[in-house]
Amino acid sequence: MAIHFFTEDTSFNLPQKRVRKSWLNSLAASEGFQIVELNYIFCSDEYLHKINLEYLDHDTLTDIITFDNSEEENVIEGDIFISIDRVKENAKTHKSELQQELSRVIGHGLFHLMGYKDKEEGEVKAMRRKESEGIKLFEELSVPRETGK
């Protein structure tokens, strides 16, 4: 089980990497999936726009693009590109904390790899519900635990 975090064309540093890896593995396991190889690449708008044009022929800015490399059922192998510029902008637009918006987008990519879609209204509602559950779990895992007395 390998989860990696990289940056391209940005100086972003993801906080709580160890907690995030545990969180992502928990989210996958709760859906009956195992993460074998998962790469998160945090980048700029410009970098992700080029990927959007080259691979999807979309001339738009986006916060995330997910590539599923899995060949087996219930196994996760993929690359998830996240624009830090878009995440910051989304946090402002939605009046949410940056870390919460970051968790939403990180979880969103994983949920795509587990088969959740977000094109139709019902799919969007299901995705938002999963994102909210994921954020709640991350926040629970992030709370420092009291040590025994």
Residues of each annotated binding site for Zn(2+): 108, 112, 118
Q: Which residues pair with 40 in a beta bridge?
A: 5, 80
Instruction: Detail the DSSP E strand segments found in 28-144.
Output: 34-43, 64-68, 75-83
Decide if 8 contacts 43 (C-beta within 8 A): yes
What is the separation of C-alpha 138 from the centre of its chain, rounded to a whole number of angstroms? 12
CB of 39 within 8 A of CB of 8?
no
Binding-site members are: 108, 112, 118
Local structure of residue 125 (DSSP, 8 states) = H
Q: Work out the number of other CB atoms within 10 angstroms of the CB of residue 84.
A: 23
SS3 132: helix
